[in-house]
Amino acid sequence: MDEERALYIVRAGEAGAIERVLRDYSDKHRATFKFESTDEDKRKKLCEGIFKVLIKDIPTTCQVSCLEVLRILSRDKKVLVPVTTKENMQILLRLAKLNELDDSLEKVSEFPVIVESLKCLCNIVFNSQMAQQLSLELNLAAKLCNLLRKCTDRKFINDIKCFDLRLLFLLSLLHTDIRSQLRYELQGLPLLTQVLESAFSIKWTDEYESAIDHNGPPLSPQETDCAIEALKALFNVTVDSWKVHKESDSHQFRVMAAVLRHCLLIVGPTEDKTEELHSNAVNLLSNVPVSCLDVLICPLTHEETAQEATTLDELPSNKTAEKETVLKNNTMVYNGMNMEAIHVLLSFMEKRIDKGSSYREGLTPVLSLLTECSRAHRNIRKFLKDQVLPPLRDVTNRPEVGSTVRNKLVRLMTHVDLGVKQIAAEFLFVLCKERVDSLLKYTGYGNAAGLLAARGLLAGGRGDNWYSEDEDTDTEEYKNAKPNINLITGHLEEPMPNPIDEMTEEQKEYEAMKLVNMLDKLSREELLKPMGLKPDGTITPLEEALNQYSVIEETSSDTD
């Protein structure tokens, strides 16, 4: 009924009547996302009628009402099939000021029309494959970049920027060819980075350092939304950067990483918005070549260095571990470097662990990022080791029991999701400089067995990557407890009586044969398969492992 009345007025009425009836329709269906199939034809005709009205010379308020209804109707994919034509797309491009002939955005009265046109284009491109093809034909990505350049430094048109960026994100998501066009032809990387700089109001103090006001106001909702859309678009543009990184791109990636560092150190209008902002920053940092991530940390200024020295002197001399990391004027400092951004990433990771769900989507990106940073940058690894795996003192509890970051990560090493447990174990392994003995000290053999089996390190040793040779220092408490630590569980156990001490030799023989028979039965019924270690440290069926060792022994005897 609503569609019939609206369609009648749109076809026969004047601008004022059209505006009133469409405003009523928009108010009534603003939250409608599912439509009745019986009125499908009427909605198609209403869409066609609205496009015919939009080509006329009508007041701005009437244009806004038409576009609002068109945006609501464009949520229905079936309605878009007959109305998604090149002519109709061009109408929306003209109203959104996306034609190349439009040189400026001077008329503030036109801004609502531009915003609503961009919203319509977002819905239509997302829901219609025909519109996606037409966007390529009409070179929509280039037009969006041109509009973005017009409003980069105009804070009062953030809504236009926001939906321009959202449409760029959708296009680069749906068409891989547009990613390449944005990256190289349209210079999307510096353009979108500049959008972030504008949203964050960044003031540079050095080539890759920005001024951070910890007491400043949070980002406004509009600035936050613009930044999030820009981060998502940049993620698509740079999604393959780690594979095709060129030396000439280093500067641009370092600038982007410095902007992302600034992003991590500011907050949005709400806690949820801050987490969303930081989550998209983490995703984008995963695309930055790891060699450019050193800008996440920066040396202290002369004043900060003097403050750090004062703080270190104030700490007791016996607190050697704590003296490595100090907090001065809200700045996390380690070894003369500002570690605020890394500390934010670590806190973000812990919050995602505490959520207890969606680990693969929410946790693995930040864990993977921290792992690669630790592998490539010594100062970052040492800082994270100090925070996650501090020197052991109390080993009375199992490594997975407790509320520290270490306890939480060790619990993830036996998670049911293979990807989650692999990246958690890899992170801890890298913090231990890929040394098996160091990893086992913090996790226990049982928790680390999966990683060691996959890496062929069950027999011990270390990984393939090179790390500095500085040694870990054990505390006196750990040294005293070490002889009684259970290597499998990784915690202190009191010596237990040996159950066979009071058995006779006949009883021991009987129990041994009973165990052999039980294992033999399980093996023959294929409920249990005896395994052994090959010389390279990987697991293989026991027979094969014994054969390989026999061959090695024969070869050695022949050589002798």
Q: What confidence tens digit (pLDDT) does each residue in 418-454 have?
A: 999 999 999 999 999 999 999 999 999 999 999 988 8
Nearest CA to 537 out of 422, 460, 440, 447 is that of 460
Can you give the pLDDT at residue 499?
A: 81
Can you give the pLDDT at residue 39?
A: 85
Q: 477 pLDDT exceeds 70?
A: yes
Taking only the tens place, the pLDDT of each residue in 260-295 is: 999 999 999 999 999 999 999 999 999 999 999 999
Can you give the pLDDT at residue 301?
A: 64
Can you give the pLDDT at residue 331?
A: 66
Can you give the pLDDT at residue 312?
A: 44
Q: Which of 58-67, 99-108, 246-255 has the lowest average pLDDT?
A: 99-108
Class of residue 62 by CB neighbours under 10 A (exposed 0-12, middle 13-18, buried 19+): buried
3-state secondary structure of 94: helix
**Percentage of residues in the chain with pLDDT exceeding 90?**
55
Q: Which of 1-5, 103-107, 500-504 has the lowest average pLDDT?
A: 103-107
In whole angstroms, give the CA distance from residue 312 to residue 323.
Answer: 6
Can you give the pLDDT at residue 313?
A: 47
123: Cα within 13 Å, side-chain hemisphere: 22
306: Cα within 13 Å, side-chain hemisphere: 2
CA distances in angstroms from 394 to 480, 490, 495, listed in the order given: 11, 11, 18
Question: Greatest CA separation found in the chain?
Answer: 108
Class of residue 258 by CB neighbours under 10 A (exposed 0-12, middle 13-18, buried 19+): buried
More confident: 180 or 465: 180
HEC string of 290-357? Answer: HHHHHHHCEECCHHHHHHHHHHHHHCCCCCCCHHHEEEECCEEEECCEECHHHHHHHHHHHHHHHHCC
DSSP string, 373-419: HHHH-HHHHHHHHHHHSPPP---SS-TTSSSSHHHHHHHHTT-SSHH
Chain centroid to Cα 343, Å, comes to 16
Tally: H helices and E strands in the chain: 28, 10
Q: 455 pLDDT exceeds 90?
A: no
For the chain, the residue count is 560
Q: Which residue has the tokens 């996790």?
A: 443
In whole angstroms, give the CA distance from residue 524 to residue 29.
Answer: 69
Structure tokens at 489: 């569980």
- Cβ count within 10 A of residue 35: 17
More confident: 476 or 312: 476
Structure tokens at 16: 């004022």
Give residue 544's pLDDT band: very low, low, confident or very high (50, 70, 90): confident
In whole angstroms, give the CA distance from residue 71 to residue 123.
Answer: 7
CATH architecture for segment(s) 1-138: Alpha Horseshoe (1.25)
Give residue 105's pLDDT band: very low, low, confident or very high (50, 70, 90): confident
Can you give the pLDDT at residue 485?
A: 87
Nearest CA to 26 out of 55, 54, 52, 6 is that of 6
In whole angstroms, give the CA distance from residue 373 to residue 360.
Answer: 19
Taking only the tens place, the pLDDT of each residue in 140-192 is: 999 999 998 887 555 557 889 999 999 999 999 998 889 989 988 999 999 99
Mean pLDDT value across the chain: 86
Q: 232 pLDDT exceeds 90?
A: yes
Q: 2 pLDDT exceeds 50?
A: yes
Q: Which of 336-345, 362-371, 549-558 has the lowest average pLDDT?
A: 549-558
Can you give the pLDDT at residue 279?
A: 97
Taking only the tens place, the pLDDT of each residue in 479-511 is: 888 888 888 998 888 777 888 888 899 998 999
In angstroms, the first-to-last Cα distance of the chain is: 98
Bridge-partner residues for 539, per DSSP? Answer: 533
Q: 389 pLDDT exceeds 70?
A: yes
Q: 310 pLDDT exceeds 50?
A: no
Reported pTM? 0.85
Q: 247 pLDDT exceeds 90?
A: no
Cα four-point dihedral sign 237, 238, 239, 245: positive
Q: 319 pLDDT exceeds 60?
A: no
Nearest CA to 227 out of 203, 262, 252 is that of 262
Can you give the pLDDT at residue 318?
A: 46
Chain centroid to Cα 123, Å, comes to 26
Can you give the pLDDT at residue 236?
A: 94
